[in-house]
Amino acid sequence: METSKKVKQQKKKVLLMGKSGAGKSSMRSIIFSNHVAKDVRRLGATIDVDKKRVKFLGNLLLDIWDCGGYAPDKHLVYASITDVATRQDAFTESYLTSQKSYVFGDVGVLIYVFDVESSDFTDGARGNSDRDLQTYGSIISALDEYSPNARIFTLVHKMDLVANEYRNEVIRNKTAAITARSGRFARTIGTYATSIWDETLYRAWGSIVNSLIPNLDIVEEGLKDLQRVIEAEEVVLFEQNTFLTVTRVSSEVGDENPTGDRYERLSNIIKTFKNSLSSYTESNSSHQFDSFTIKTGIFNLIINRLTYNTYVLVVFPPGEAELQCARLNILSAKEEFARIESVAEAADDDFRNLRGR
């Protein structure tokens, strides 16, 4: 039974920063606007700041500030875009000087995107510039001043351009350089290698959004109960629009699965499937299917709407009886999870009210 109690929506300010052309707007469009990778090439450069408010898990509002970055020198080759590059540089300068308190105040998360091929990411060796790292360091200082409790994530993007045999070395070296410029945030920073062409983007953004969800332990306890009742190998909870992984639980059998990136792959596959339905249903609704079932001789799999804001994926032993029992248990769990969402939201509201006294 859905509660009628109104819970105040939480707003989390998310800064998305990095130099021009690093891929910030592209990844945001793929995760939150249902674009596919091949379509984001048409996106132009961001000038100043592009603000987008995204509703996530019901009461969580993400205020995403996609900030235009400085323009690399190679962008100045063509006179027709010199004015754009100048405006980008001016905005970068302004948010580090006159607009610091406005841009960096009350930030929940900073996401800084580094282009893996950038010539501005060096330690100054071979005469190259380290402007990208300098800008990042200045942003860290501003964040320390105005939002010292913010979480920081850095994405080394476009990793598909790096040969497989060099990727581990590249991300290791860049992570070390980034950490050295992260000041007191160095111990808590999260760095991810990403690409719009594979599931790494979902892994990074899943971790980012996961850090903003209040009282996640209450939801996980509910999933553990469902997993035990169904005797499931794995239970995964997805946000209904982005299909980012909210959380998951697994049995000892599920823990033995050798595919470590399966959750991110599932996010990518299911979202692609969901988006493909719109071409057949001619619907822009994010609620295009209620359930999906796979039956094999080795396992059963169900993807089912759990609450208004979530889907649940359950993997469990094969058999028709097991399948029908799982469906009944998921149906029974819907009311409980609606209550859990409401209790978690209300508890977080109470906690924030106590802090405000």
Question: For 152-176, what is each residue's pLDDT tens digit?
Answer: 999 999 999 999 999 999 999 999 9
pLDDT number for residue 106: 93
pLDDT number for residue 90: 61
Q: Is residue 57 a contact partner of residue 344, using CB atoms and an 8 Å limit? A: no
- DSSP H helix total and E strand total for the chain: 10, 11
Q: Is a pLDDT exceeding 80 seen at residue 260?
A: yes
pLDDT, greater one: 125 or 223:
223
Average pLDDT over the chain, rounded to an integer: 81
Residue 2 — left, alpha, or beta (φ > 0 → left; ψ -120 to 50 → alpha)?
beta
Which percentage of the chain shows pLDDT scores above 90?
41
Instruction: Read off the tokens for 191.
Output: 């760095």
Q: What is the DSSP string of 151-200?
A: EEEEEEE-GGGS-GGGHHHHHHHHHHHHHHTSGGGGGT-EEEE--TTSTH
pLDDT in tens, 286-345: 446 888 999 999 999 999 999 888 899 999 999 999 999 999 999 999 988 888 766 655
pLDDT band, residue 81 (cuts 50/70/90): very low
pLDDT band, residue 42 (cuts 50/70/90): low
CA atoms of 109 and 115, how far apart (whole Å): 19
Average pLDDT, stretch 234-248?
A: 90
Highest mean pLDDT among 18-32, 35-49, 85-99, 189-203: 189-203
Q: Is residue 318 a contact partner of residue 299, using CB atoms and an 8 Å limit? A: yes
Which percentage of the chain shows pLDDT scores above 70?
77
Which residues 6+ apart lie within 8 Å of 43 measured at CB? 25, 26, 29
